[in-house]
Amino acid sequence: MQGLTEKEFREIRELAYRSFGLDLRPGKEALVNARLARRVQELGLGSLSEYVEAVKADRTGEELERLINALTTNHTSFLREPQHFALLRETVLPPLRGRGGVRIWSAGCSTGEEPYTILFTAADVLGAERIGALELLATDISTRVLDTAKAGIYPRERLEGLPPGWAQRFFQKGEGRWEGSVRVKREWRARVEFRRLNLMQDFSHLPRFRVIFCRNVMIYFDKPTQERLVARFTDRLEPGGWFLIGHSEGLMGVRHELDYVKPAVYRKPSRSALGGGRSV
């Protein structure tokens, strides 16, 4: 297959933006070509234009899923951006010990390290007698990373730097062909609901959450898409709920109804004094 043409890049860019909000800006041509060339060859197609038509013609949605998996990057780790988990431990969770139910959503959960870290932190704070009050939803657009998250199997070195006792409490060591790996114990895996969700589609059917994590996801979206998405996330927050984004992100120039707390941390006002919105 020859190199990516300007027309082909435009077609891929429009398809990615329309389907899942990915903003492929000029300069990403080489990345797109490298990630899709093999699939074009596997299908016996002669160009990326033909591949775009194949994706559109596939009524099962499987080829679009392959496209999503190829173009999105899934980098994460346990305790990534630890300031957020310190916030959970010290500020967000302690007042909730007496509540009947606590909902947290990990939006864009990738291979599962984020929701499992949320769960383990909550287990430390709430204790064995209260952890059952936690409802933890973890979503991603990619079925590939969700399969990894549900399995809960990771290289043993991923546990380096975790708090004392976490490895023994929450993980089991692999044996035989799984030597060198660890797995989140079954009883802890069962406490996370993993679900496929495209954030560009309606999620108003979801309940309201005390905390929503959406970290290192919106960097792939343009400002109008970010603004619409933040508004929809805000609607799914309880009054006084927390919205956490990646430290490399920000809501600069995005109109929203949230109070700024500190970098990468926002909060929905406790009372509905929601007016014309803020832009910071």
Marked catalytic residue, from 13, 66, 103, 140: 140
Annotated catalytic residue 144: no
Q: What angle do CA 272, 276, 277 make, to 5 degrees?
A: 80
SS3 state of residue 187:
helix
| Burial annotation 227-248 (CB, 10 A radius, 16+ → b, else e) | bebbeebbebbbeebbbbbbee
How do beta strands 255-256 and 192-196 pair? unpaired
SS3 state of residue 237:
strand
- How many C-beta atoms surround the C-beta of residue 30 within 10 A? 10
Place of tokens 């920000």: 250
Q: What angle do CA 222, 224, 230 make, to 5 degrees?
A: 95
Tokens read off for 252: 């600069």
Annotated catalytic residue 177: no
What span, in angstroms and rounded, lies between the C-alpha atoms of 233 and 218?
12
What span, in angstroms and rounded, lies between the C-alpha atoms of 81 and 74?
15
Q: What is the DSSP letter of 2?
A: P
C-alpha distances in Å from residue 75, one per residue of 72, 103, 124, 195, 228: 10, 25, 25, 19, 25
Q: Which residues are identified as catalytic?
A: 35, 140
